[in-house]
Amino acid sequence: MTLEKTTTILLTGGAGYIGSHTFAALIDAGYQPVILDNFSNSHPAVLDRLQQLTGQRVVRERGDVLHAGFVAEVLRHYACEAVIHFAGVKAVGESVQQPLKYYSNNVGGLVSLLQAMETSACRSVVFSSSATVYGDPASVPIHEQFPCAPESPYAQTKLMCEDILASLGAADPAWRVGVLRYFNPVGAHPSGLIGENPRGTPNNLMPYVTQVAVGKRARLQVFGDDYLTPDGTGVRDYLHVMDLAEGHVAAVQALLTRHQSFTVNLGTGKGVSVLEVLSAFERASGRRVPFEFAPRRAGDVAQYYADVSLAEAVLGWRATRTLDDMCRDSWRWQQTNPEGYEAGPDIPPRPGLRSRPNEPAQPAAVA
């Protein structure tokens, strides 16, 4: 079965890092994505960039997934056939300090979305999960059948969401659920128009490295040099965000055409150390990145990378971009947007963007 070009997909959290890249990939694949976001961790200027990038009007609604009535109206108005649920909060350390924020937004947000979907005809959902659900794995590569052992409230919320989705699928076979366990997304769209826009000091490696290279930070601290890895530094499975975005397109396509639920890892299947990232980045940028070794970061594991065979079998998808591509595109984004979206042109709210971030949304007014 082939899909109509006009298949409409709702992207909750679609103005964020992964959602905005997925928006571009969906347009490329001929879908009509609709963004629903409360802009609690994104900047409205991304919408203008997406319009430049795709040459199309960006359909969006400003509002909160916790407001089920609003979400239901959006689903019905646009006749959405599937939802990709990116909206959520994602900082591991913050989740330890403020667990209720995480249970409320991530678990409560999913329940509210599913309730909204129940009142519309839409029964297909792709969920942003994380490799963090595996905790500290007994071995690598990590297969989907490995036991889950979340080690933070953030990781716990992801596993709880997966369980809720599994219960729903068991109760009503009309539901189609695609759970995607991301490894470490990095990089940016090759145009340099959209990318990761962390607020404050980045927690993650790649945005920290790019900020050192552009002169915003003095040096990188490499957390740990005594892991049982080839060079002693932590090993991860870094994945280009455009490969990840295309993985979402493949997931939506699989749900809508084959009507089967699945849970798959999205990674490259290759482990790369912190020092390997650094030297690839120096190669791509032509800049030196000063660093010093520092103690291990609490909660870090020595190494994890994905077994990607199931994703290939189920979705017909695999990552194609290299570490050099990831570094080159991260650097282009950072160099051309040293202040992220903050320095870019903000655009005034359109009629469909009536509520302010974190305010309960008005019933859907439509763009």
Binding site for ligand UD1 (CB under 6 A): 92, 130, 132, 184, 203-205, 208, 220-223, 234, 236, 274, 297, 299-300
Per CB under 6 A, the list member of 32, 38, 95, 261 interacting with ligand NAD is: 38
Residue 178 lies near ligand NAD (rule: CB under 6 A) = no
SS3 342: coil
Task: Give whole-number Cα distances, 298 to 142, 185, 205, 214, 319, in Å.
Answer: 21, 21, 15, 27, 30
Please enumerate in sequence order all residues whose Cβ is within 8 A of that of 333, keeping only pairs 6 or more positions apart, or say none.
188, 189, 192, 194, 195, 196, 210
Q: Which does 221 bind (CB under 5 to 8 A by kind): ligand NAD, ligand UD1, none?
A: ligand UD1
Ranked by CB distance to ligand NAD, the top (closest) residue is: 16
Tell me the pairing of strands 238-240 and 124-130: unpaired
Residue 248 lies near ligand NAD (rule: CB under 6 A) = no
164 burial level (CB within 10 Å; 0-12, 13-18, 19+): middle
Encoded tokens for 238: 């870094």
Catalytic residue among 102, 134, 154, 182: 154
Binding residues for ligand NAD restricted to 129-168, rule: CB under 6 A = 130
Q: If residue 114 lies in a helix (H) or strand (E), which one and from where to where? A: helix 109-118
Minimum distance from residue 170 beta carbon to ligand UD1 (Å): 27
The residue among 18 and 142 lying less far from ligand NAD, judged by its C-beta, is 18
The residue among 184 and 273 lying less far from ligand NAD, judged by its C-beta, is 184
Per CB under 6 A, the list member of 65, 68, 140, 289 interacting with ligand NAD is: 65
Which sign does the torsion angle of CA 212, 217, 223, 224 carry? positive
The residue among 245 and 274 lying less far from ligand UD1, judged by its C-beta, is 274
Residue 80 lies near ligand NAD (rule: CB under 6 A) = no
- Residue of 125, 122, 14 whose CA lies nearest to 72: 122
Please enumerate in sequence order all residues whose Cβ is within 8 A of that of 160, keeping only pairs 6 or more positions apart, or say none.
103, 106, 107
Give yes or no: 78 in active site.
Answer: no
Residue 124 lies near ligand NAD (rule: CB under 6 A) = no
Residue 305 lies near ligand NAD (rule: CB under 6 A) = no
SS3 327: helix
**Residues in contact with ligand NAD by the rule CB under 6 A:** 12-13, 15-19, 37-42, 64-66, 86-88, 90, 105, 109, 128, 130, 182, 185
